[in-house]
């Protein structure tokens, strides 16, 4: 079904006054008209209209009002007869209506929209048409009133205006440039875009979009514009001072006021490009530091090695390609693997202690064999993201010699302690032997003295 909107222009009409019976009878069919149509039929027809219809004389008193008119003001058709319009709409309403009533009595067809509350919790909006009733000599003898409730339409328009206002505030407050263009001509843009190019609004409005670009960039942009769908592409736009600003443009077709147009969002990526370059330089410097470090560095993702520095490759006796995708548990002594997995879970849970001492086997293997070399290492791990996944960066220090020295020292201390214990026991035994003979001689001497 096709919906069409009609714009109807009302102008002064020469109609008979409803207060003049002879005029009515001369203009309308009589009651005996074979067509069966008479003034009472017309009144009945008007009473069944949803719209409000009325007629007022030159003193602004009601001559006729249909049922909808009376219902709207909580009264009856009979009560409306002879009422001044002030008494119908109230004093506040009359202050609004009076200027229009004067204009219609001067022979002008008037249309206006006003708000009414009519005792309702939510006010409503009506559209009023006042049409003068002029006789053949031009004398105005009254006016017709046609009123329609346009609340829904008004609220829709108001919502659209508010939405447009919000969109305008959003567009103007945004940091990204916004450009509207139709058939290649710019017809609007926001302040961010003006600042971005360092130009004046007057210079941009009416400009061809192609003049914003360098030749190579425009050829690329035009190709995307003709696709008729959303598109994103990079470009460099000339500024007013001759410099270039690196941007990312996202454009798409839209409908504005019922007409096809296009809108483009322009994001200044100059700073982002500089940051990316600085990040790449920083990453390169960090990579160089790690690659040239004497400390072993390994990155483990999903329990396999995805990166190893030269020091780690030398320590485990593997080349870089051989090291890739080696399972991390194969680097560790079988007896230490369960402990390593436990420490990994504790790190993920937020344990601040990131250092552990473990044994490694070289070359990496699932099981120990005759060629396996066991080393002691101090391992420090940190949880990091790699391609959006959580992995572990491990710095590994070989402490085998330190561990062996400590073992030798513990063995030496144990031997010294054992020797000390032997010396203590020997002295204790010797002292006992020396004390025992002297005690025996003393007892014999006392016994000999008693005999004498």
pLDDT digits (tens, 9 = 90+) for 128-142: 999 999 998 989 999
pLDDT digits (tens, 9 = 90+) for 269-280: 877 666 667 766
pLDDT of residue 104: 93
Burial class of residue 361 in the structure, from the number of CB atoms within 10 Å of its CB (0-12 exposed, 13-18 middle, 19+ buried): buried
Domain residue extents for the chain: 21-155, 175-273, 293-398
Q: What angle do CA 197, 268, 385 make, to 5 degrees?
A: 170
Best CA proximity match to 373, nearest among 365, 383, 381, 382? 365
**Spacing of C-alpha 343 from chain mean position:** 38
Contact 290, 396 (CB under 8 A): no
> CATH second-level architecture of 293-398?
2-Layer Sandwich (3.30)
Helix or strand run (H / E) with residue 312: helix 310-316
- Longest Cα–Cα distance in the chain: 188
Task: Please tell me whether the peptide bond between 77 and the residue prior to it is cis, using omega within 30 degrees of 0.
Answer: no
For the chain, give the number of residues. Answer: 452
Q: Are strands 304-308 and 296-301 parallel, antiparallel or unpaired?
A: antiparallel
Extract the tokens encoding 313.
Answer: 């490759």
Number of neighbouring beta carbons within 10 Å of residue 227: 10
The 3-state DSSP composition of the chain as helix, strand, coil percent (nearest 5) reads 45, 30, 25
Tens-level pLDDT at each residue, the chain (452 residues): 343 444 444 444 444 444 443 443 344 444 455 445 566 667 777 777 778 899 999 999 999 999 888 888 888 989 999 999 999 888 988 999 999 999 999 999 999 988 876 555 567 888 999 999 999 898 999 999 999 888 888 787 777 677 666 666 655 666 788 888 888 899 988 888 988 999 998 999 999 988 888 888 887 777 766 666 677 888 889 999 989 988 888 888 888 777 888 888 888 887 766 666 776 677 777 778 788 888 899 999 888 999 999 999 999 999 999 998 899 999 999 999 998 888 888 877 777 777 888 999 988 988 888 889 999 998 888 888 877 788 888 888 888 888 888 778 888 777 777 777 777 777 777 666 666 555 555 555 555 455 45
DSSP codes, 142-203: EEEEEEEE-HHHHHHHHHHHHHHHHHHHHHHH-SSEEEEEETTEEEEE-HHHHHHHT--HHH
**Which residue in the block uniquely carries the two structure tokens 């006054």?**
17
Whole-angstrom distance, CA of residue 378 vs CA of residue 190: 59
pLDDT of residue 163: 65
Q: In angstroms, how far is the first alpha carbon of the chain from the final one?
A: 156
**Which residue in the block uniquely carries the two structure tokens 């370059």?**
277
pLDDT of residue 166: 63
**Which residue in the block uniquely carries the two structure tokens 């009733």?**
133
Q: Is domain 21-155 given the CATH code 3.30.390.30 in the classification?
A: no
SS3 state of residue 8: coil
Contact 406, 414 (CB under 8 A): no
**Domains 21-155 and 175-273 in one fold:** yes
- 175-273 to CATH, choices 3.30.450.20, 3.20.20.210, 2.40.50.100, 3.30.930.10: 3.30.450.20
pLDDT of residue 235: 86
Best CA proximity match to 210, nearest among 200, 199, 222, 224? 222
pLDDT of residue 120: 56
DSSP codes, 412-447: HHHHHHHHHHHHHHHHHHHHHHHHHHHHHHHHHHHH
Helix or strand run (H / E) with residue 17: none
Whole-angstrom distance, CA of residue 25 vs CA of residue 7: 32
pLDDT of residue 168: 62
């Amino acid at each position: 079904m096709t919906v069409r909107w009609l714009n109807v222009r009302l102008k002064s009409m020469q109609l008979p006054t409803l207060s003049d019976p002879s005029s009515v009878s001369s203009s309308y069919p009589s009651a005996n008209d074979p067509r069966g149509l008479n003034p009472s039929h017309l009144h009945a027809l008007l009473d069944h209209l949803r719209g409000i219809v009325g007629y007022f004389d030159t003193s602004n008193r009601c001559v006729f009002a249909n049922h909808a008119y009376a219902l709207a003001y909580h009264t009856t058709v009979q009560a409306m007869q002879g009422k001044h319009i002030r008494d119908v709409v109230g004093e506040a309403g009359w202050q609004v209506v009076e200027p229009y009533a004067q204009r219609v009595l001067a022979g002008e067809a008037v249309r206006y929209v006003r708000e009414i509350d009519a005792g309702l919790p939510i006010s409503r909006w009506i559209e009023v048409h006042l049409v003068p009733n002029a006789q053949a000599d031009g004398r105005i003898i009254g006016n017709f009133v046609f009123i329609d409730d346009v609340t829904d339409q008004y609220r829709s328009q108001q919502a659209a205006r508010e939405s447009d206002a919000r969109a305008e505030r959003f567009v103007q407050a945004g940091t990204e440039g916004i450009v509207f263009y139709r058939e290649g001509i710019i017809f609007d843009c926001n302040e961010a875009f003006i600042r971005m190019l360092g130009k004046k609004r007057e210079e941009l409005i009416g400009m061809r979009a192609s003049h914003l670009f360098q030749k190579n960039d425009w050829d690329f942009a035009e190709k995307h514009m003709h696709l008729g769908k959303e598109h994103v592409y990079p470009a460099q736009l000339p500024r007013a001072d001759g410099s270039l600003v690196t941007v990312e443009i996202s454009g798409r077709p839209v409908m504005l006021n019922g007409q096809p147009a296009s809108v483009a969002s322009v994001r200044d990526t100059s700073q982002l490009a500089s940051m990316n370059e600085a990040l790449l330089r920083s990453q390169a410097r960090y990579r160089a530091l790690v690659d040239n470090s004497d400390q072993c560095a390994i990155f483990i993702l999903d329990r396999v090695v995805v990166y190893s520095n030269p020091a780690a490759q030398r320590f485990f006796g593997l080349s870089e390609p051989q090291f890739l995708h080696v399972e991390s548990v194969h680097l560790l002594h079988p007896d230490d693997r369960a402990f390593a997995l436990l420490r990994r879970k504790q790190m993920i849970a937020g344990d601040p202690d990131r250092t552990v001492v473990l044994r490694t086997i070289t070359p990496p293997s699932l099981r120990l064999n005759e060629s396996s070399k066991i080393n002691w290492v101090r391992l420090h791990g940190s949880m990091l993201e790699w391609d959006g996944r959580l992995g572990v960066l491990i710095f590994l220090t070989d402490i085998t010699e330190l561990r062996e020295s400590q073992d030798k020292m513990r063995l030496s201390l144990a031997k010294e302690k054992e020797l000390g214990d032997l010396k203590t026991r020997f002295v204790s035994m010797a002292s006992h032997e020396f004390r025992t003979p002297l005690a025996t001689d003393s007892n014999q001497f006392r016994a000999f003295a008693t005999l004498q």
